[in-house]
Chains A and B, each alone.
Chain A
Amino acid sequence: MRANGQERAADTGASIAGRGIKKVFGTGPSAHHALGPIDLDVKPGEFVSLIGPSGCGKSTTMLLVAGLEKTTEGKIEIDGVPLSAPLSEVGIVFQDHLLLEFRTAIRNVMLQQEIRRLDRQELRERADALFEKLGLTGAENRYPWQLSGGMRQRVSIARALVHQPSMLLMDEPFGALDAITRTQIRHDLEMLWLETRKTVLFITHSIEEAVGLSDRVLVMSDGPGKIVDEIHIDLPRPRPAHLGDYPDFAQYAQRVYTTFEKLGIYKFK
């Protein structure tokens, strides 16, 4: 199952190395140049955010890394192995929880076990542990419609982690949640990540989320998508609910705002 055939400790992540990645959807006059060419490098166990305006190709980048869409040009290597099929050692969380409405919370998570034919007992124990860490204990047998938006997204995170992937891909996972829930779930995700150190590619619109979670923030612009700035976030972990406690936070945030203003994404008078 390992992408490179070697044993990797369960608590480390995969590396991503993308060179000249370009994506054009469609052909001929209706073709849409969505992304690139961009280079993308993520170290094993690194938490990297992609931030940028809507339609800048962030989600496309994620789908390309997951091997779910094919690059038009360029190549992507995961742990040094060129990507040619959908990446299997991965967990994906979308903005909508995308839980199956006909399965209970625990059975949504155990879907990974069923489809991947993993050990039932072991996966169930891991699912239970994740439920506890994510504050979902007691919600196991509820259907998605019986859960709050925040809890659904927590189940979705459990589903993305239960099979111990080496990489977590998150596409605006907290975008549909209210601000209070978002702050809590951000912290819970950070704690889980500190424990397992998976490689995370985190796509967001929120400067606070990007700076609050990441080791590194990549700022993107649109038409077609390009990486225009790279910011190393050097703040201690775990980071607090109120990021304003760090004087540096304001500087990091300011840098993203300034970039967006330079690009004409913000037009303040």
Chain B
Amino acid sequence: MTGMLKRVYEPALWFAGLLIVWEVLVRAFDVQSFILPAPSVFLVRIFHDFDRLLLQGAITTKLILYGFVAGTIPGVVLGYLIASFRICERLLYPLVVFIQGLPKITLAPLLLVWFGFSDFPKILLTSLITFFPILVDSVAGFKSMDRRHYYLSRSMGASGWQTFWRFQLPSAAPNIFSGLKITIVIAVTVVIVVEWLNSNNGLGHVVLRAMDSHDTPLIFAVLVVASTIGVFLNYGIVVLENVLLPWRRGVEDNA
């Protein structure tokens, strides 16, 4: 228990110290707020604009989750197929490698031309970008199963379904979760960037408007909100992992 408390309050203390130094420096050198606002200024700004940030943050979070789920599920399914069936590997993997080399964020203008002013292109791009890392981790996860586990499952007379649920999926799960933890944060970035390009709401839109009016404290306020969303979503996945994969709790290499 004391260990956990230490894990929380030590970084919190560091963080608070950093903010204080920042505050003192900004005040000492009389830096103007539109260049670098003091923490007190933008933290107060969060409370001042709380309703708006909450609403816009919720809109962005919804897109993040939709895109993330829409990328994750096909990623895991295709990962299973590529790892399990030679024919899928031969047909699909070269294509996957090729598309993976493409900087997918550059597809944003194209998708906006095609699908216009709606949530759909944002969700699509987010799912595309989360899809590939999850796919790669799933392939690695499903391939990590020892060949002799297949011998064991066959000698037990396990059906394909039993082999999948009792051997393959749990074997692949740690890899899949490490992919999820990384891509959820990428998804936050992607949604905000796409909101810059074409949106009349969401945190990306708020940032863009703040930039136009040289409202630097608001930009910082949005940064704080966005990173809070990222931290909570990441934490949500860690909690999910602990619930679904209880054996991982306490395993030393649990990153």
A interface list, Cβ under 8 A from B: 63, 66-68, 86-88, 90, 92, 94, 96, 98, 100-104, 111-112, 114-116, 143, 145
Contact = CB atoms under 8 A, between A and B. Distances in A.
Nearest to A156: B152
Contacts of A98: 146, 148-149, 152
B170 A66 contact: no
Identify the 7 closest CB pairs spanning chains A and B, nearest first: A102-B170, A115-B156, A86-B154, A102-B247, A115-B158, A143-B247, A88-B157
Nearest to B249: A143
Contact of B245 (A67, A102, A112): A102
B156 A111 contact: yes
B167 interface: yes
Nearest to B173: A102
Contacts of B247: 101-104, 143, 145
B33 interface: no
Contact of B155 (A92, A96, A103): A92
Nearest to A146: B250
Most buried by A among B149, B152, B245: B152
B158 A63 contact: no
Contacts of A114: 162, 166
Most buried by A among B155, B167, B247: B155
Contacts of A115: 153, 156-158, 162, 166
B159 to A, nearest CB: 8
Contact of A68 (B146, B154, B158, B170): B154
Interface residues of B, number: 20
Contact of A100 (B154, B167, B245, B251): B167
Nearest to A91: B155
Contact of B152 (A92, A102, A103, A116): A92
Contacts of A102: 170-171, 173, 245, 247
Given A63-B151, A68-B151, 14 more contacts: A68-B155, A86-B157, A94-B148, A96-B148, A98-B146, A100-B167, A100-B171, A102-B171, A102-B173, A104-B247, A114-B162, A115-B153, A116-B156, A145-B247
Interface string B164-182: 0011001101000000000
Contact of A66 (B155, B158, B167, B171): B155
Contacts of B157: 86, 88, 115-116
A114 B162 CA distance: 9
Contacts of A104: 247
Contact of B166 (A67, A86, A111): A111
Interface in B16-62: none
A116 B245 CA distance: 24
B116 to A, nearest CB: 46
A92 B166 contact: no
Interface string B124-154: 0000000000000000000000101101111
Contact of B151 (A66, A88, A100, A143): A66
B220 to A, nearest CB: 43
A218 to B, nearest CB: 22
Contacts of B170: 100, 102
Contacts of B148: 94, 96, 98
Contacts of A94: 148
A67 B155 CA distance: 8
Nearest to B163: A115
Contact of A86 (B149, B155, B162): B155
A179 to B, nearest CB: 25
Contacts of B146: 96, 98
A145 B167 CA distance: 17
A104 B151 CA distance: 21
A92 B153 CA distance: 11
Nearest to B248: A102
Contacts of B245: 102
Q: Which of A100, A104, A145 has the most CB of B within 10 A?
A: A100
A87 B156 CA distance: 8
A104 B247 CA distance: 8
Nearest to B167: A100
B169 to A, nearest CB: 10
Nearest to A159: B152
B156 A112 contact: yes
11 contacts: A63-B151, A66-B155, A67-B155, A86-B154, A87-B155, A98-B152, A102-B245, A115-B156, A115-B158, A115-B166, A145-B247
B157 to A, nearest CB: 5
Nearest to B159: A115
Contacts of B171: 100, 102
